[in-house]
Amino acid sequence: MKVLIWATSFGSDLWSLTRYLDQRPDVTVKVVMNDPDTYYREPVSKLFPLQAELIRRGRIQDLLGVPFFRPDVTIMDNRVPARATSPKGLMLWHGFGWKGPNDEEEFAFLHGALKRAWGDAKKPNPNFRWQCFGPWDMQHRSKISGFHPSNCRQLGAVSHDDLRVPLDKGRLQPFYPFDIVRRKTVLIAPTWHYGEVFAHWGSDADLFERLIAHLERREVNVILRLHDSFRFDRGYVKFLNDLAHRHPNVLLKFKDKAPDNFLDMQVSDLLLTNFSSIANLYYATLRPTIHVYPVKSADEEFQWRTLSFVGVRKKTIDSVRYIWKLPPETNGGLLSRSFDEVLMHVDQSIDEPRCCEAKARAFLDEHMLGADGRNGERVWNTLLELVEGRAPQPGII
């Protein structure tokens, strides 16, 4: 089978699936992405080298796919090619998450792009499949997002197959500027949609200082991982760079310059986030996750940020309930509704490393097929069904 990976962001499920397919002698994989050189500079490319060819996306690829390569199926995480690059298409959406509503109105452009390439996904379509993370996501995609149930498959998150297996921190030490073996590490990975992480409780300038100082006293490392740098105001980026420069226990990363988050999740002992979808992946490690309640009140007006063709747009939202498809109270860890609770939960997570294990397992069991290590196999069986017409295998719905 010939597989084309059409990557908006090459990481998480697409990266894990590429690793899985690389191990199959009957599969040839090529990956189209924005900047292969940036990926090759990442430690993960050296620790886990891929056989798949990585190809820089340009006008030729957007219009024609990969010259002289005729894939059987194209696998995407977000962006759809301008035209069909193969007879079949499979969408591995770029995260489960809480943010939405992901309804037909929000997905109108996506539905149109899929229809032009592989046919209408709102009707039974033998040429297209949409991956769902579990039964709840299956119901949401079919009833809210508008994808016909016959086109949807419950496949979990392929990256769980890798994240559930711990890595030796000594092997990863050369790629970090501080001691990750003898000292604990917190991964702070916020979403960018709400702007400043702690703005609803004060200023990030003050509260990040308090948080970092608290972690310094506890001799804890900090990996501060944010989305693409161009999504933030210049002043905020400067503040973050100054913060990292003044605190030697802080390593600052932006996704556009350091796209891989797999090693950061593996070396960290706890995650702090304001409901980025990275949390749903991190649950597979069974380590503590602290969720910052992202607004002051669910029913108060706030600014919501989205990325468009003309840059970052800010929109006033009357109630955050409109943009949540899953309530924040439904999570696999600790929920902080004040900054003091953040500090309390940080201490709890450091002192009780198994404090969230039961909640993480419960969330995974209910929403993400239990992170049982078989998600790569599930996707492969779906590819066989889609490309070769084989009957769906047990465990794929």
Q: Is residue 79 part of a domain?
A: yes
Q: Do 8 and 157 fall within a single domain?
A: yes
Indicate the number of domains in the chain.
Answer: 2
The model's pTM is: 0.93
Q: Do 267 and 133 fall within a single domain?
A: no
Q: Do 128 and 149 fall within a single domain?
A: yes
Q: Do 171 and 157 fall within a single domain?
A: no
Q: Is residue 394 part of a domain?
A: no
Q: Which structure tokens are listed for 377?
A: 């196999």
Domain of 133, in residue numbers:
2-161+373-388
Q: Which residues contact 142 (CB under 8 A, 6 or more apart)?
A: 148, 149, 152
Spatial distance between the Cα atoms of 271 and 278, rounded to a whole number of angstroms? 9
Considering only residues 229 and 177, tell me which one the structure prediction assigns the higher pLDDT.
Answer: 177
Q: Which residues contact 283 (CB under 8 A, 6 or more apart)?
A: 289, 332, 333, 360, 363, 364, 368, 371
Question: Residue 233: what pLDDT?
Answer: 86
Q: Is residue 207 part of a domain?
A: yes
Nearest to 331 by CA among 345, 351, 352: 345
Q: Is residue 397 part of a domain?
A: no
Judged against a pLDDT cut of 60, whether residue 395 lies above it is answered with: no
What is the per-residue pLDDT across 271-313, written as a single tens digit (0 to 9) for each? 999 999 999 999 999 999 999 998 877 766 556 556 555 566 6
Strands (E), 82-141: 88-91, 128-132
Summarize the chain as % helix, strand, coil (round to 5): 40, 20, 45
Find the length of the chain: 397
Q: Do 6 and 134 fall within a single domain?
A: yes
Q: Which structure tokens are listed for 63?
A: 């219009």
Q: Do 49 and 148 fall within a single domain?
A: yes
Q: Which residues contact 74 (CB under 8 A, 6 or more apart)?
A: 3, 4, 5, 6, 65, 81, 84, 85, 86, 88, 89, 90
Residue 343 sits in a domain whose CATH number is: 3.40.50.2000
Percent of the chain beyond pLDDT 70? 91
Question: Residue 171: what pLDDT?
Answer: 97
Q: What is the DSSP letter of 219?
A: T
What is the per-residue pLDDT across 152-204, written as a single tens digit (0 to 9) for each? 999 999 999 999 999 999 999 999 999 999 999 999 999 865 668 898 899 99
What is the per-residue pLDDT across 51-89, written as a single tens digit (0 to 9) for each? 999 999 998 898 889 999 999 999 999 999 999 999 999
Q: Do 157 and 210 fall within a single domain?
A: no
Q: Tell me the pLDDT of the chain averaged across its residues.
A: 92
Nearest to 379 by CA among 362, 370, 392: 392
Question: Residue 321: what pLDDT?
Answer: 64
Mean local confidence (pLDDT), 336-363: 98
Q: Do 360 and 379 fall within a single domain?
A: no
Strands (E), 114-191: 128-132, 152-154, 185-188
Spatial distance between the Cα atoms of 145 and 139, rounded to a whole number of angstroms? 9
Q: Is residue 66 part of a domain?
A: yes
Question: Residue 323: what pLDDT?
Answer: 73
264 within 8 A of 225, measured Cβ to Cβ: yes
What one-letter code names the amino acid at 320?
V
Q: Do 32 and 145 fall within a single domain?
A: yes
Report the SS3 class of residue 236: helix
Q: Do 245 and 152 fall within a single domain?
A: no
Q: Do 229 and 333 fall within a single domain?
A: yes
Residue 79 sits in a domain whose CATH number is: 3.40.50.11820
* Cα 223 to chain centroid, rounded: 17
Q: Do 278 and 173 fall within a single domain?
A: yes
Please, what is the Cα angle at 380 between 83 and 161, to 5 degrees?
A: 115
